[in-house]
Amino acid sequence: MVWRASYRTLIAKDLALPDLRAADHRAIPDFTILVGGMSFHAYREMAIWKRLILSESLWDQCVQAIILESPTAEDLRLADAMVPRSERARTLVCNDPDLQWWGLLQLERPEQSFAAVVASNQARIMIKGVPTEDAWDAFLAELKREN
């Protein structure tokens, strides 16, 4: 038997989001699909979201964010090594010096990811964790409502 830690997938709606800027000063677009995590360990789970988004031909609206308290030069080198070149323009290594995102997300483990439909610094829907079928359906419904 293969053992794997589990945690809940949580859905929240209409959340005000803290400012999010990349270490290289890029900002997220006014309307976007935001897929992220609070460590590089979340990148594997972020890939599940990416595959679902690609399956709906929505990748052009997506930004990936790895949110760290205070990214170092080594963190930026690690991101360059991990992220395929084709995805680098859509991937941000972000600062969270006041831990506002950490407080908002309250992820259960560093490997946990999140996805949100973001419009004007508001998450119309935010899903924390691996997308279940119900969570993905809710996410798509909200995304289609916004477009």
Give the sheet arrangement for strand 91-95, strand by strand.
10-16, 122-128, 113-119, 31-37, 62-68, 91-95
Domains, the chain, ordered by start? 10-146 (3.40.30.10)
Of the candidate ranges 52-61, 80-89, 126-135, 138-147, the one whose mean pLDDT is the lowest: 138-147
In this predicted structure, what is the pLDDT of residue 146?
54
pLDDT band per the 50, 70, 90 thresholds, residue 17: very high
Interatomic CA distance for residues 142 and 72, integer angstroms: 35
| Model pLDDT, residue 145 | 80
Mean pLDDT, rounded, for 130-145: 90
pLDDT of 34 higher than 90: yes
Q: Quote the pTM value.
A: 0.88
The percent of residues in the chain predicted with pLDDT above 70, rounded, is 94
Q: Under a CB-based contact definition with an 8 Å cutoff, are residues 105 and 78 in contact?
A: no
